Structure 1
């Protein structure tokens, strides 16, 4: 009885869970975003743990290894299994690709693209599909990691939550960053790495407003993953002595060397993808063919399979000869390029860490040639691991903190920082892209980072123009023009042909300022027509329109429907374009700073 009275006093349950009130809390209080970040951290930790367990179970069932073994460090004597498993995974993935091609027409968007172009809007259904594809690829042994699936699924859940709460654009972008931060933090048991992964690669900037929710998400996700599944990604660097000033020279050279190798790897993956596109092989059949190549490489060594966690630990713990290091690096690079290029879903995050460690150990053999350099091969492996990952993935602070959290040693971290800055500088100066942005570039997208440029694309000429324009037929006489457009009635008139095609623009003051005889007023307006071939289209954004205004030195231009028909649909002035552009730019600045 008392319980019923209490429930009546509380009101309906849907009132307590009112989305509007939750949205108001998130808008008005930073604490609301912190709570949302914590919730996203929980879901990210659960998603990463679930995907990791499924992957391990798939490896155990498909390849016959124990639950505690890593696929890439296991001894698998069944050669047929090594060959057949990647092929079977390719066939299964090809069937899924075929079904998706029939049912889903829109391209799938990843977190970087979502935050750069779509204000954080990310399809949860697409994210689940990507995660499933990633699990099939990794589970059947393709040379890809699960980090792409982790971040996609966690960010998709975060975006869905933010969309349901109707968050503002800036808040939704931060929440997507929280999902990615939680995913990477849980994957590597490294909350600082996850947080700065979000800042550098997903959100694109660091602000005080976004700091707390992102860090909270990373911490909560790490705790959840550690509680449910634990983490064994720790590198024991042993006793190496003291880092000397002379050690920075080989470390910096290693960073530059890794930058060059990273560029070659990215171009190699792009080359395989382009080769597959130009071939006559249908998209659903490509993963199976890629699986054949991966299977053949696995016959040489199973260390090329999957992400390479076990192989990394295996090669760090023992001495490996130079030919073996070089051979394994080439095999892994080729396997990764073939896997991604043929259509297996995944990324190069962990593969770049593994290959970087191999490069570091290889580079360690040249260290004695540097005077007073005293670092052990495993230290060079950590430096190489971070440097190559920066070259391929990006995020110098992300990889620096990863080195700190997996080694627990600050002097090594400072050494890594010098190397990754060098690697990042070389890549940006000579190549200009990370792996993700390079693939966007190949698709025709001009995205260099996750900075929010989507609002610029949304601010189109179609939204800015005015449709009520003054038009006149080509060939109209000056006298008829003056009768139709008395002085002061309009600033400019657009000339069109009988078919409605754009023919040019006339400034009305020019007509009345011209001193002509009465007899000349029967003549046409040819000498007054401007901008015959200069116009805008509705699809152009404000930035593109401003560039055309600057190039033509015009105050206003006609807007035509397309470049072929050139039917006049409106008019746009430079002053209005620049004013709206400035207003939106200021609005985004205030959103980032937390003023609105």
Structure 2
């Protein structure tokens, strides 16, 4: 019989049981981080497979479709199940909302917010909660995709592994990006798409230091998914021999069209959310009402159910009439907006691909009446798919590589790249947000991407200020002030009243200046007060402090505990704030370059 305790302490096996050695390897070696990324990629592939299978089982049970059918393309869906199922899902979501409102009031942090503000820290428990909500939403037919669940849980596991390894902030953010990269790569059988999804949307920047772990995670995720026999996603656009100069004009026009419609959809989701909040309907009943509305739409257009995975394959390969495409675009857009706006959880990633493909086919019909073109409707569908997705999700290179990996056709990549750049630039200039960052903006967060700005918030006034401040009672006579604060003893003295409340700042050189009253004459310190309403609070970050210095035109400001008590707790100078800010910026630059 094996003595496991004795075996654990043998020299060769001990390495496997001592967490410190693993932590040391990952923290001190790029190879260690790559190994951790490979493990994350493996886990993410199983996460995607498990979530996809559970969703399919729900579709089979609720809508009575076949094991190989997709909900949005299943012709056997019963009309009454299409009506009742989303409503039933809304009832379940309402119950979850009621429970979370009482026992889990913190909002769930997604990978973008985690990397932007929290150094890559994600709650695995919260991730499982979101996955459950997403599965109920998608499984009962709400018009949302599963990509949010894929990336959330995969990144949640990556964050948990990073915390166990006690990774540095930059490495933690990279590992969270590895989880998202592997999830998207597994979902679409597209490693390049997954990798650049992480660079552009989760990490917020591309660097040599992050290249190896992210790409390894994406490749491992893809290979494991293929070995599991999961269905791959491919689009056949026929043969595209070469791209001519004349093909770029319609592609750019399609990109601009997708940008405008993408902004409309994002605004529509916001309008539904605001209307739901202002209505008389209780919050726990809003998903049920939204589900009922989606069910009514599904009676006339079953393709709005679910993410639209099957409908995309079905519609790209067939010829649709002008009015049929218009009808599908309107119904899918409205159903997606109602689903998310009424409280269902999920993403718009795949919905944006489906809508973009429809917009591309619509554009092909419209442009075909104006000018002759050598491009087929299927090519325009792929261009529209990428352009509309970049308007909603962001990530120009992500969507360009997605088109390349889905079609396997290199010539189309140039057209897609031009279109997605046009779409991305128009959205950024006129709207300024992707769908995820737009929702952060509505919550009051100033996040435009996953670029790390959390360190700025962590660099607070409380961490930078001096605590050894000198104060004086404002009623102190001038002669006593001269005795307590001789010239050269300090630069600034903070004046307080008899209760210790901040009333202003006194510059010592100004007191001793010849322009002030003669020492032998009576004077009042109140005549010397400056910055009476200019002060700092300990929770302010460096950026807010610098802005306050600029507005007050002061070289230093007092720090008070709060605006009610106004007790002086410190002093902070502008020069020290700028120096600390510059040091942190330089550290971030070196981390990005892989120098630390």
Q: Shorter-chain TM-score: which interval?
A: over 0.9
Alignment of 1:22-41 (within 5 A): 22-41=22-41
Structure 1 residues 230-239 or 357-366, which shifts more? 230-239
Aligned 8 A contact 1:493 1:508 in 2: yes
Alignment of 1:349-364 (within 5 A): 349-364=349-364
Runs of 5+ consecutive residues of structure 2 not aligned to the other structure: none
- Label 1:492 to 1:481 Cα distance change in 2 as closer, same or farther (>3 A): same
Q: SS in structure 2 opposite 1:571?
A: strand
Give me the whole-angstrom Cα distance separating, in 2, the residues matched to 1:145 and 1:8: 46
Instruction: Name 1:18's counterpart in structure 2.
Output: 18
- Label 1:271 to 1:212 Cα distance change in 2 as closer, same or farther (>3 A): same
Aligned 8 A contact 1:246 1:372 in 2: no
Instruction: Name 1:255's counterpart in structure 2.
Output: 255
Give me the whole-angstrom Cα distance separating, in 1, the residues matched to 2:290 and 2:12: 57
Aligned 8 A contact 2:64 2:77 in 1: no
Alignment of 1:67-216 (within 5 A): 67-76=67-76, 78-216=78-216
Give me the whole-angstrom Cα distance separating, in 2, the residues matched to 1:8 and 1:421: 56
Q: SS in structure 2 opposite 1:283?
A: coil
Instruction: Name 1:447's counterpart in structure 2.
Output: 447
Give me the whole-angstrom Cα distance separating, in 1, the residues matched to 2:8 and 2:21: 20
Structure 1 residues 285-294 or 504-513, which shifts more? 504-513
Instruction: Name 1:410's counterpart in structure 2.
Output: 410
Alignment of 1:327-346 (within 5 A): 327-346=327-346
Structure 1 residues 27-36 or 2-11, which shifts more? 2-11
- Label 1:478 to 1:259 Cα distance change in 2 as closer, same or farther (>3 A): same
Instruction: Name 2:592's counterpart in structure 1.
Output: 592
Give me the whole-angstrom Cα distance separating, in 1, the residues matched to 2:532 and 2:333: 54
Report deviation, 1:71.
0.5
Residue-pair matches, total:
595
Give me the whole-angstrom Cα distance separating, in 2, the residues matched to 1:370 and 1:198: 40
Instruction: Name 1:238's counterpart in structure 2.
Output: 238
Give me the whole-angstrom Cα distance separating, in 2, the residues matched to 1:6 and 1:584: 48
Q: CA RMSD in A?
A: 1.8
Aligned 8 A contact 1:471 1:494 in 2: yes
Q: SS in structure 2 opposite 1:107?
A: coil
Give me the whole-angstrom Cα distance separating, in 2, the residues matched to 1:551 and 1:414: 48
Instruction: Name 1:529's counterpart in structure 2.
Output: 529
Give me the whole-angstrom Cα distance separating, in 2, the residues matched to 1:10 and 1:588: 41
Give me the whole-angstrom Cα distance separating, in 2, the residues matched to 1:15 and 1:241: 56
- Label 1:8 to 1:464 Cα distance change in 2 as closer, same or farther (>3 A): closer
Alignment of 1:185-584 (within 5 A): 185-369=185-369, 371=371, 373-514=373-514, 516-520=517-521, 522-584=522-584
Aligned 8 A contact 1:437 1:449 in 2: yes
Report deviation, 1:475.
2.7
Structure 1 residues 583-592 or 74-83, which shifts more? 74-83
Q: SS in structure 1 opposite 2:122?
A: coil
Aligned 8 A contact 2:109 2:122 in 1: yes
- Label 1:321 to 1:371 Cα distance change in 2 as closer, same or farther (>3 A): closer
Give me the whole-angstrom Cα distance separating, in 2, the residues matched to 1:9 and 1:326: 69
Aligned 8 A contact 1:247 1:372 in 2: no
**1:163-195, Cα deviation, whole Å (9 max, x unpaired):** 110000000000000000000000000000000
- Label 1:52 to 1:500 Cα distance change in 2 as closer, same or farther (>3 A): same
Aligned 8 A contact 2:517 2:523 in 1: no
Aligned 8 A contact 1:492 1:506 in 2: yes
Q: SS in structure 1 opposite 2:153?
A: helix
Q: What is the TM-score with the length of structure 1 in the denominator?
A: 0.97
Aligned 8 A contact 2:151 2:183 in 1: yes
Give me the whole-angstrom Cα distance separating, in 2, the residues matched to 1:365 and 1:516: 85
**1:444-464, Cα deviation, whole Å (9 max, x unpaired):** 000000000000000111111
Runs of 5+ consecutive residues of structure 1 not aligned to the other structure: none
Aligned 8 A contact 2:65 2:77 in 1: no
Structure 1 residues 58-67 or 465-474, which shifts more? 465-474
Q: SS in structure 2 opposite 1:366?
A: helix
Report deviation, 1:8.
7.4
